[in-house]
Structure 1
Amino acid sequence: MLMQGLPRSRARIGRAMTQRVTTRRVLALCLALSPMPLAAATAQATPAEAQAAVTPAAVSQPAAPPLRVELNKLETAGETCKAVLIVENGKGGPIRSLRLDLYAFDPDGIVQKRSMVELGPVPARKTALRQFEISPTPCAQVGRVLLNDVAACEGQDLTREACLERIEPASAKGAAPFVR
């Protein structure tokens, strides 16, 4: 009806443009609501539209599974404080070596002790307990423990930076706060 006063060639161009807009809307609706294969949805689209539909899916990478490290317990043994860490590698691959750079702070926020702690190896889908000493500091003098850095991380497709991003520090009730 809109095309009545236009020459025949312009009317065809108008219909083609309308069909292109409709194709884009259908493509967007198919991608949003249907689990059908992306190739079938983009078969009717122009090459530029098909590339735009494929690019976001190709760019997004699945997030690496978290690696939970919990400061579970602090216990005094003589003049030293022993810390118990729980490492939960629930969905990740095996880790051959995981060395953390930790700092213990007193309740006033003053650094007391630096510790390099080896937590590996940690098998895939496994929880492991590791114990280390924060010496010669008594547990009453530990206000919090800081995960300063990952000194080493070795395993399937792991880098030091990737491990640092994956680690989720936590504290058990009654233990000093364990923070990043």
Structure 2
Amino acid sequence: MLPASAQDDLGARLSIELNQTESRDAGCTLSFLVQNGHPADVTRAVFETVLFDAAGQVERLTLFDFGTLPAGRPRVRQFVVPDAMCEDLGRVLINGAETCEAEGLSADACTRDLRLDSRVGIEVIG
């Protein structure tokens, strides 16, 4: 669990951080740290995601299914981008929520005040 000060900073929103990348034979593995600051679980979160190459051109549009995001608990989700090298990616755009299911939360719970960050050389925007 995050320290109280980090939880307070998160507020009632989702936070998605690109935490690590790794190029493998199968493609580029993107590891995201996700925190749900809402008072209720998000039972399913699927984000439309656009990957850009280092030159700023769209490399592909895909859906990342983050699954269940329990309230107040961090989760790590990994996605393999087939036939891609992490070194060739320059930016990740969270284009919106394809699916956001959360009992007792508003319909925009996955996108309202979404906090995005990156610990690697690939920018994350939304």
TM over 0.5: yes
TM-score, normalisation: structure 2: 0.84
The answer (yes or no) to whether the contact 1:69–1:86 under 8 Å persists in 2 is yes
Greater share of helix: 1
Match of 2:123 in 1: 177
Match of 1:147 in 2: 94
- CA distance in 1 between counterparts of 2:32 and 2:13 reads 16
Change (3 A) 1:132 1:116: same
Q: Which has the higher contact order (CA 8 A, sep 6+)?
A: 2
Confirm whether residue 68 of structure 1 aligns to residue 15 of structure 2: yes
- CA distance in 1 between counterparts of 2:63 and 2:123 reads 18
The answer (yes or no) to whether the contact 1:82–1:132 under 8 Å persists in 2 is yes
Match of 2:84 in 1: 137
* Unmatched segments (≥5 aa) in structure 1: 1-63
Residue 94 of structure 1: how far off its partner (Å): 0.5
Q: What root-mean-square deviation, in Å, do the aligned CA atoms of Structure 1 and Structure 2 show?
A: 1.6
TM-score, normalisation: structure 1: 0.60
Matches within 5 A, 1:19-168: 65-78=12-25, 80-168=27-115
The ranges of structure 1 where at least 4 consecutive aligned residues each deviate by more than 6 angstroms after the TM superposition are none
- CA distance in 2 between counterparts of 1:145 and 1:136 reads 16
The answer (yes or no) to whether the contact 1:68–1:88 under 8 Å persists in 2 is yes
The SS at the match of 1:140 is helix
Instruction: Count residues in correspondence.
Output: 116
User: Which structure's CA Rg is the greater one?
Assistant: 1
* Unmatched segments (≥5 aa) in structure 2: 1-10
- CA distance in 2 between counterparts of 1:75 and 1:150 reads 25
Residue 91 of structure 1: how far off its partner (Å): 4.4
Residue 159 of structure 1: how far off its partner (Å): 4.4
